[in-house]
Amino acid sequence: MNVAAILDEKGRDVFSLTANATLGDAAALLDQKRIGALVVVDSAGAIAGVLSERDIVRQLARQGAGALSEAIAGCMTHEVITASPRDTIEDVMAAMTDRRIRHLPVLEEGRLAGIVSIGDVVKRKIEQTEADAEAMKAYIASA
């Protein structure tokens, strides 16, 4: 299974804000959409960064509630790791584990095509493993 199959199943909606939006705006959107990360875009819609709920918590711990009025640009991840729709689940799991990240924007021909979380990837990997086990059982039973 690859990233395209995950996006086909879960959808390709990506929620984003610009870097000048506040952490309070971001927290409200994360809560409203029940998601763990936002893609930060520039005025042309290109990826400028990623902001996760962990980034917000880190700023709150450092600066208190006043951090909510600060711009996203100050605490977002600027060096964004992305995935391709053709990447396998194993490739994405390895990238997420190696980099210790939980969300990967997906780029298709340079354009934002979706986002996958570690939860999306693990769920599909479990489904794939269970299907493989059932196929093996059926093969053994037919022998």
Return d(Cα 23, Cα 90) in angstroms, integer: 33
Q: What is the mean pLDDT of the chain?
A: 93
Query: pLDDT tens digits, residue range 111-138?
Result: 999 999 999 999 988 988 898 898 888 8
> In the prediction, which pLDDT does 59 show?
96
pLDDT value at residue 78: 94
Give the percent of the chain with pLDDT over 90: 81
Structure-token pair, residue 51: 């902001």
pLDDT score of 73: 94
Neighbour tally for 123: CB within 10 Å: 15
What is the predicted pLDDT for the residue at 75?
A: 94
pLDDT band at 142 (very low <50, low <70, confident <90, very high): confident
Cα–Cα separations (whole angstroms), residue 23 to 2, 15, 17, 98: 33, 14, 10, 27
Q: For residue 18, what is the domain's CATH number? A: 3.10.580.10
What confidence score (pLDDT) does residue 65 get? 94
Asked if residue 116 lies in contact with residue 6, where contact means CB atoms within 8 angstroms, the answer is yes
Compute CA 122 distance to the chain's CA centroid, rounded to the nearest angstrom. Answer: 12
Using pLDDT thresholds of 50, 70 and 90, give the confidence band for residue 44. Answer: confident
Query: What is the number of domains present in the chain?
Result: 1
Confidence tier at 69 by pLDDT (50, 70, 90): very high
Domain extent for 92: 3-142
Confidence of residue 97 (pLDDT cuts 50, 70, 90): very high
